[in-house]
Amino acid sequence: MLRSVRFPAATVCLLMLLLTLTCGGSLLAGDAAPRPEPPRVVQVYPSDGMQHVPVDTAIHIVFSEPMDETAAIQSVTISPAPQLVYPSSWQFLNNRAIMVIVPAKPLRYSTTYKVVVSRSARDSQGTEMQQDYSWSFTTAKSPPAPVAVPSNGGFATGDLTGWTWKHDEAGGARAASWSVVAEGERKHVLKISRPPTFEMGSCSLEQRIDAELPAFGLVFLSFDMRLDDYTLKEYTTGSTYPLKVILTYLDRDGVEHSFVRAYYFHLPSDGGVDSFAEFVELGRWTSRSYNLSTLVPRPALLKSLRFECSGWAWTTLLDDIKLVW
């Protein structure tokens, strides 16, 4: 004989809940709101594994969404630690989705830096990252010490060590020569001269440098010169200058270029002077300095430095030749 059983109301509710969950249903009219997607790092600079990074670079971290500034700053560690000054070393762009870290002093040369963004970084809604993000990069090598080239730029040893001397003239004609002399307060000055003659001649003094230059910063060529008696005859453009300097270099793509300057103290008889020629006053010391950093394309490797003299006769003095970067 069947008998009906009455269950308490609370028990009936519990049974209905269990049945609903078992069948994959829901007691609510709609589904629960989805959980916000956690923020993540989508791009960095310098990139992972990047080499030859300039030491004055800033570190960029691009997040997938706007971040909580304080939490983002506290989540970043850099090893070895650069010098950071709060708050000037920390900048946020693009509605706080991009963090820029600007060290107060340049990074170290030839150093591998590891950067870690820990999972404690959270977005502006308070959602943290799911996992740490880390990468590393290596800075550029230290450039050679300033004024390291050319060798014997001041000619203090009284010789031409490191330089190659060449001269060219017709057979039997007088040849150019060099000597290291004292000139006023200057104790060691290079003198290049050719006595008056009616045959054309030339000479050159060249030094191989083969020095790599940093991808940033300033590069200067400087020297002192004095032009004395130049010639018994007038000269024509492009061929017979008492002094010409030629710096040969390679750009970042390995293409060779030349930086050229020539000097004169009177106009030639036929036509003008070359665009690279500069006027100097006869018999007076003149200093010249050139910012090679402004050359287009910028030098990446200095190959050689050459001084040339040409004409019927000349006297050229050189001192304190320097390449500085």
**In tens digits, what is the pLDDT along the chain, a chain of 325 residues?**
444 445 455 444 444 544 444 444 444 445 555 667 899 999 999 999 999 999 999 999 999 999 999 999 999 999 999 999 888 899 999 999 999 999 998 999 899 999 999 999 999 999 999 999 999 999 988 766 554 578 777 777 777 888 999 999 988 888 999 999 998 888 889 999 998 888 888 999 999 999 888 888 889 999 999 998 655 455 555 568 889 999 999 998 899 999 999 998 876 655 567 889 898 888 999 999 999 999 999 999 999 999 999 888 889 999 999 998 8
The CATH label, of 3.40.50.20, 3.40.50.10860, 2.60.40.3710, 3.30.70.100, for the domain at 41-139 is: 2.60.40.3710
Main-chain dihedrals φ then ψ at residue 81, nearest 5 degrees = -75, 125
Tokens read off for 104: 């107060």
List 317's β-bridge partners, or say none: 191, 226
Domain limits, the chain: 41-139, 164-324
Whole-number Å distance between alpha carbons of 273 and 259: 17
Question: How far is residue 324's CA from residue 162's CA, in Å, rounded to a whole number?
Answer: 18
Same fold yes or no, 41-139 and 164-324: no
Q: Which fold has domain 164-324?
A: Jelly Rolls (2.60.120)
Question: Whole-structure pTM over 0.75, yes or no?
Answer: no
Token pair in block for residue 30: 């709609």
Between CA 107 and CA 58 the distance in angstroms is: 9
**Helix, strand, or coil (residue 151):** coil
> Who contacts 29 (Cβ-Cβ below 8 Å, separation ≥6)?
none
Q: 309 vs 112, 188, 205, 262, CA distance in Å?
A: 48, 20, 9, 9
